Amino acid sequence: MTKIVVVGANHAGTACINTILDNHQGNEVVVFDKNSNISFLGCGMALWIGDQIDGSDGLFYSSPEALMGKGARVHMETGVDSIDFDKKIVYATSIDGTKYEESYDKVVLATGSLPIIPDVENGHLENIQKVKLFQHAKEVIEKLKADKDIKNVAVVGAGYIGVELVEAFQLNGKNVTLIDVQDTCLPTYYDQKFTDMMKEKMVEKGITLKFNQCVKGFEGDTKVTAIKTDKEVIPTDMVVWAVGFRPNNLVGKDHLELFKNGAYLVDLCQKTSNPDVYAIGDCATVKDNSIEAINYIALATNAVRSGIVAGHNIGGTPLESLGVQGSNAISVFGLNLISTGLTVAKAQAAGLDVLYTDYTDLQRAGFIRENYPVDIRIVFEKESRRIVGAQLASSQDVSMAIHMFSLAIQEGVTIDKLKLLDIFFLPHFNQPYNYITMAAITAPND
């Protein structure tokens, strides 16, 4: 029997625990989590705040009770203080002060990520919020309901969470300002052609965009009344930080090998530099197939897969990660953006010499009454012609197409192979010469 201690039980941790308990019976599993809940789907947080779903119950897919029902010993609201990696002991303290010393054969670090909160003037004022946990979203919702004087809301950070929150607050009838130090939104996953679409959509919906501005501090006595940037003072009644996350490496940063951003370096089996220590989820690195190298991509889907891989390897069934492409999507104000792999800008920043092909067409045959346009960009290496990224935009759900591109990147498919791919035609679904085929056919050669 192997004794396994899992530190953290959100997406990665829950996947790992379930994998061990469901497939490798006979092992002892002990779990520590600082939070009071597990498996919170943060991607649904903006939907909850924007009253687009019926409450928060559906945002959880597991519970401490479910894990205990399978045989795990679970300690919630219990933070791990330190780990003695030589003696193989985990030291933890519960919210009521109870101390734990738990030995282990294998330990899994699933500590996730922490929100980045810049240290700026008056950052302690009321109604300056962060958004990461269930409790954070709940607090925002309660304040919006209780304080009718909250009319102006500012979101700092124009990544996925920031843009989704913009819609949520707009649906709450608030005047919304989006602030970012960069000159656009969503630059991590989309090129300018697509980020411009989102900017135009937000402006159309009445959102005030303040790009190329850095937040320097806040004004107010007890509650925030304004944001001070390097360019102006912006009145506001609530501020939400959404500038990003960093890997939570607190318990192992002085003992394990780290990536350049502080994430634990792991192999394809999720092992760290210590063979008895595994790291999974947002605190660990991934193999990025688009650049064919180690990278850091914090996504819940990556976290779940890493937990499954670690669980099987700990349980005695060898399994290696296939790597990831960072597939993702956003749906805001009726605009759907979907991507996988690299943008042109990110490919160039990674040192790749790339070309791209753009194509715009109707999804279905032209004579179909209910129709809609689709924009696609495929990014590929100039010399090898290997596909390294794809981006899609539409008012409708065209997301399934991105899975093919994800597999194409994983398997090293070239843009030229895509030209003659067997794609069916039926007027209800696509064009005789569909936008994917046409984008490949019209791809430049140099």
Helix (H) or strand (E) holding 13: helix 11-23
Q: Which two tokens stand for residue 113?
A: 């990520």
Quote the strand ranges of 230-385, DSSP E. Answer: 233-235, 238-241, 245-247, 277-279, 286-288, 293-295, 328-332, 335-341, 354-362, 373-381
Q: Where are the beta strands (DSSP E) in 175-249?
A: 175-180, 208-211, 215-219, 226-229, 233-235, 238-241, 245-247
According to DSSP, the β-strands at 238-241 and 152-156 are: parallel
Q: Write the single-letter amino acid at 434.
A: N
Which of the residues 11, 75, 136, 312 is marked catalytic?
A: 11
List, in sequence order, every beta strand (DSSP E) within 36-157: 73-75, 78-84, 89-94, 99-103, 106-109, 113-115, 128-130, 152-156
Pair type for strands 3-7 and 106-109:
parallel
Among candidate residues 16, 24, 43, 403, the one labeled active-site is 43
Stated as kind and residue range, the H or E segment containing 405 is: helix 400-411
Active site residue 269: no
Read off the amino acid at residue 156.
V
Question: How many other CB atoms sit within 10 Å of the CB of residue 398?
Answer: 20
Give strand pairing partners of 240.
129, 155
**Integer CA distances (angstroms), 253 to 284, 286, 394, 436, in order:** 12, 17, 43, 45
Question: What amino acid is encoded at 65 in this protein?
Answer: E
How far is it, in rounded angstroms, from Cα 213 to Cα 196?
Answer: 18
Burial class (CB in 10 A: 0-12, 13-18, 19+), 270: buried
Active site residue 11: yes
372: amino acid identity, one letter: Y
Task: Decide the pairing of beta strands 328-332 and 3-7.
Answer: unpaired
Catalytic residues: 11, 43
